[in-house]
Amino acid sequence: MSPTILLLVILAVATGLIYHLWRGGGFARLILSIVAAGIGMAIGQVLSQLFGWRLILLGEVHLVQALIGGLLVLVLINRPE
């Protein structure tokens, strides 16, 4: 596994876990939060590479854009109905 993907996975798990601890829910909600954070971070990473956005890089990981993407998806899936 490449270091970039490994770092994104670690960040997605951490972001999903922290969001889950803040919002609460069961085990299924935790898994959903981690997966959603991973999808959002992947989207943020790809968009930042396509458009050449470079704010804070850690290796090849665009930290700011990845975190923003992960948090946006987490907020979108947890909207009140």
* Global model pTM greater than 0.85: yes
Question: pLDDT (tens digit, 9 = 90+) per residue, 4-17?
Answer: 899 999 999 999 99
- At residue 57, what are phi and psi to the nearest 5 degrees? -110, 140
Q: How confident is the model at residue 79 (pLDDT cuts 50, 70, 90)?
A: confident
Task: Measure the CA–CA gap between 41 and 12, rounded to whole angstroms.
Answer: 7
Enumerate the domain spans of the chain.
Answer: 3-77
Task: Let me know: does 32 contact 17? Beta carbons within 8 Å.
Answer: no
Average pLDDT, the chain: 91
Please give the pLDDT value at position 58.
Answer: 87
Task: Measure the CA–CA gap between 56 and 7, rounded to whole angstroms.
Answer: 14
Question: pLDDT (tens digit, 9 = 90+) per residue, 26-54?
Answer: 899 999 999 999 999 999 999 999 998 88
Helices (H) and strands (E) in the chain, counts: 3, 2
